[in-house]
Amino acid sequence: MISEEQFQFEIDQIIKNAIREDVGNGDHSSLACIPSEAQGKAKLLVKDDGIIAGIEFAKQVFSYVDPQIKIEQLIKDGDPVNYGDIAFYVEGASQSILKAERLVLNAMQRMSAIATKTNTFVKLLEGTKTQILDTRKTTPGIRALEKWAVKIGGGTNHRFALYDMVMLKDNHIDFAGGITKAIDKTKSYLKENNLDLKIIVEARDLDEIKTILKSNGVYRILIDNFNYEDTKTAVKLIGDKCLTESSGGITLDTARKYAECGVDFISSGALTHSVYNMDLSLKAV
């Protein structure tokens, strides 16, 4: 994963761009009917059950819009919530609260949904050594938020993007002329460019597992679209030579069985691309 500084930079860019997109040259609805000196207070109301996420992000949004806004936080990111709970109160200039409202709600609703789904996987895998990973199957422009939500839900982040880890998948391997050539070329490229990046290699069958194991320097093998028995065999073949990751359409119904095969990680794009937003609202008080 990227550094904390780079991650915060991504968050700052999300806030800046989202406010630009939503507010433009002014929130004319508020400017038209609410005096600039008017003060107000609102509550973030939970209207669903699950894991709350995005409170710390919301605090950054309000601060960006108006540093004078005050927040009284009642619960924290990662807490379980139920219908009727109040996450926080926000108080300050009414125009500022309304300017930040939609970004706060859009982000928190999606982040909470992702955290809730992730936490369901985490609980399902309890008692095994397997960790649940996210993927790059995220909403363009807000990847940092979605990966943040996975962590809040108890999951583990995979690579952030194409630049912080090497993953040699089927197309890379085929275009390079085979697994061994792809790995050798990658190691040479990293050395020539003085890059210290971990290498993950995807395997489509047990023969490819054996081929990968002939090369040194592989951090993790991606056991892609294997059935349970072949996954168990692959884990035994790999042993402690490198880490293992199962992927490929793994659901809540199948995740536990893959974990029991002994893999270190399970990756699921569904954590971020198939969720239903948690129902939240910001109500004046």
3-state secondary structure at position 218: coil
In 3D space, the residue among 199, 198, 201 whose CA is nearest the CA of residue 173 turns out to be 201
Residue with tokens 């990293």: 190
Phi, psi for 224 (deg, rounded to 5) = -100, 125
Computed over its alpha carbons, how large is the radius of gyration of the chain? Answer: 22
Q: What pLDDT tens digit does each residue of the chain (285 aa) get?
A: 799 999 999 999 999 999 999 999 999 999 999 999 999 999 999 999 999 999 999 999 999 999 999 999 999 999 999 999 999 999 999 999 999 999 999 999 999 999 999 999 999 999 999 999 999 999 999 999 999 999 999 999 999 999 999 999 999 999 999 999 999 999 999 999 999 999 999 999 999 999 999 999 999 999 999 999 999 999 999 999 999 999 998 999 999 999 999 999 999 999 999 999 999 999 999
Query: Catalytic positions, please?
Result: 102, 137, 169, 202, 224
